[in-house]
Amino acid sequence: MTDEHEGYSVLLGDELVGTLALEDDTPTFRFHEAYCERSDRPILSLSFEDEPPTPDRAFREEDGRLPRFFRNLLPEGHLLEIYERQIETMRHREFELLALIGEDLPGAVRVVRDPLDANPPSAPPALPHRFAFGLAGVQFKLQAARSEARLTIPARGQSGQFIAKFGSPSYPELVQNEWAMLEWARLCGLDVPSFLLRHSSEFDDPSGIITEPFEGRSLLVKRFDRDGTKRIHQEDFAQVLSLHPEQKYDFAVDETVHYTTIGNIVANCGANEHLAEYVERLVFMVLSGNCDAHTKNWAITHNGHGFIGALGALLNAKTGYVRLSPLYDVVSTIAYPADMDRQLALSLSGELRLDAISRDHILELCARIGVAHDDASAIIAEFCKRARATWADLRERTEVPTRVRRAIDDNLGLCAAPNRGL
Ligand SMILES: Nc1ncnc2c1ncn2[C@@H]1O[C@H](COP(=O)(O)OP(=O)(O)OP(=O)(O)O)[C@@H](O)[C@H]1O
Ligand SMILES: [Mg+2]
């Protein structure tokens, strides 16, 4: 390490995992020695588990950017713009941004200044607004807390149990669309966090963060990575697969990552019921016409301390240490025909076109990830039946936008064609 030591401690909850520091002017992550020696260490990311961790191994990017696991924790879109206004002049923007919001990141990761460090990095700049938290994703979102009738944006250091997602000028009724898809998924029995529709005027917003394009309805979703003051670790599949966040749409082109890739990881670390849920979610994706289920829209949660090594993988599966996270970011993208093509974000058994996906494609994927043929057939058939029955009621609800009702009605008709069998 050079003299120029600007370092932050990386923790999972309260447990020290490693250090993120500038080495030769490059943000570099290294595991802490004591962490490496533990047999019951919490896992930061499956992507780091290809070999036993050692402090000698440096995680850094050739182009000098923040290591990709950490880049995936950063906000995107409008929230990123809000933060970036504060750090314009800094040399390592992503590194500084991470430190700025490091106390409140997705999952249990914390990136904090080490109080015992003799040479601590300079304090992150003060923010003109009171909050400092990170959540990925392009759609404008805030962390939210509910107190009696009001919604608040928790100040720095306070926890928010909800994510509030706001509308998009480019996609009318996006919030209602996502609400309808979450409700449909819930009625189908998928694992969905609790959620509700609210209005942006219900927020206490003294800093005026919720500006004109985002006024109107907002979707409140309970955070599955927070339980009171407890943080539950999660990582998305861009992190699991060691990808950069902006690669999320690349695989519709080069197809090196596909739905079988994700399914295999769920199969290797999770219990059978998670695998069945994964298959059901794929069927739901097709029936609901969601072409945006990219690698950052799938995640796993780590529950407590994992076991390591080959036997550990077995034990983890048995104890449900790693599991598919609850469902999130489900939108019927086919409700926006002018803007969105009908191409899936990842290929499914070699097929990218939504309108070509059939029961056989899903059966082929099931065979590859170890779901027996009869089980797979039953899962698909029962799910399709449930989805049609619940849609028949849901489509009558006033909250369901007309464009979504029409798109799903049409899509369910197409899916039922004999050559598709869904
Ligand atoms: N209920 C939840 N609890 C905890 N974390 C969540 C929850 N929902 C989403 N997240 C995390 O927040 C990130 C952003 O959420 P989401 O995908 O809904 O946003 P988005 O802006 O619509 O994304 P995209 O860029 O894919 O359109 C997700 O990648 C996930 O890591
Ligand atoms: Mg998303």
Q: Which ligand has the nearest atom to the CA of 191?
A: 1
What is the three-class DSSP state of 73? coil
Alpha carbon of 297 to ligand 2 centroid (Å): 5
Q: Which ligand has the nearest atom to the CA of 138?
A: 1
What is the three-class DSSP state of 110? strand
The finding on whether 225 has its CB within 6 A of some atom of ligand 1 is yes
Per-residue confidence (pLDDT) for residue 307, from 0 to 100: 54
Alpha carbon of 73 to ligand 1 centroid (Å): 11
Residue nearest to atom 1 of ligand 1 (CA): 223
Alpha carbon of 139 to ligand 1 centroid (Å): 9
257 closest CA partner among 299, 301, 294: 294
pLDDT digits (tens, 9 = 90+) for 82-131: 888 777 666 788 898 898 899 999 999 999 987 555 555 555 555 556 67
The finding on whether 136 has its CB within 6 A of some atom of ligand 1 is yes
So where are the chain's domains?
3-112, 141-222, 230-415
Residues annotated catalytic, as ranges: 292
Per-residue confidence (pLDDT) for residue 384, from 0 to 100: 98
Which protein residues have their CB within 5 A of the ion that is ligand 2? 137, 297, 329
Residue nearest to atom 30 of ligand 1 (CA): 136
With beta carbons less than 8 A apart as the criterion, state whether 11 and 109 touch: yes
Q: Which atom of ligand 1 approaches the CA of 135 most closely?
A: 12
| CA dihedral sign, ordered 82, 239, 278, 356 | positive
Mutation probe of ligand 1 site: the residue of 133, 328, 332 with most atoms within 8 A of C-beta? 328
Task: Give the mean pLDDT of 309-331.
Answer: 72
How far is 376 from 366, CA to CA, in rounded Å? Answer: 6
Which backbone phi and psi does 229 adopt, to 5 degrees?
Answer: -90, -5
How far is 165 from 321, CA to CA, in rounded Å? Answer: 29
For residue 95, give Cα distances in angstroms to 41, 98, 111, 244.
25, 5, 10, 15
Q: How sure is the predictor about 246, in pLDDT bands with cuts at 50, 70 and 90?
A: confident
Q: Which atom of ligand 1 approaches the CA of 328 most closely?
A: 8
Per-residue confidence (pLDDT) for residue 4, from 0 to 100: 44
Task: Give the mean pLDDT of 345-349.
Answer: 96
With beta carbons less than 8 A apart as the criterion, state whether 100 and 83 touch: yes
The finding on whether 182 has its CB within 6 A of some atom of ligand 1 is no
Does residue 313 have a pLDDT over 60? no
CB neighbour list of residue 417: distance below 8 Å, 6 or more residues apart: none
The finding on whether 383 has its CB within 6 A of some atom of ligand 1 is no
Percent of the chain with pLDDT over 90: 60
How far is 321 from 40, CA to CA, in rounded Å? Answer: 12
Residue-averaged pLDDT of the chain = 88
Pick the range with the lowest mean pLDDT from 135-144, 280-289, 294-303, 392-401.
135-144
Greater confidence (125 vs 199) lies with 199
Q: At what angle do helices 402-415 and 272-288 cross, to 10 degrees?
A: 110
The finding on whether 21 has its CB within 6 A of some atom of ligand 1 is no
pLDDT digits (tens, 9 = 90+) for 139-188: 888 888 887 778 888 877 777 899 999 998 889 999 999 999 999 999 99
Per-residue confidence (pLDDT) for residue 165, from 0 to 100: 95
Alpha carbon of 182 to ligand 1 centroid (Å): 13
What is the three-class DSSP state of 327? coil
Alpha carbon of 328 to ligand 2 centroid (Å): 7
Q: Which residues pair with 348 in a beta bridge?
A: 351
Per-residue confidence (pLDDT) for residue 123, from 0 to 100: 54
Alpha carbon of 58 to ligand 1 centroid (Å): 29
Q: How sure is the predictor about 276, in pLDDT bands with cuts at 50, 70 and 90?
A: very high
Residue nearest to atom 23 of ligand 1 (CA): 137
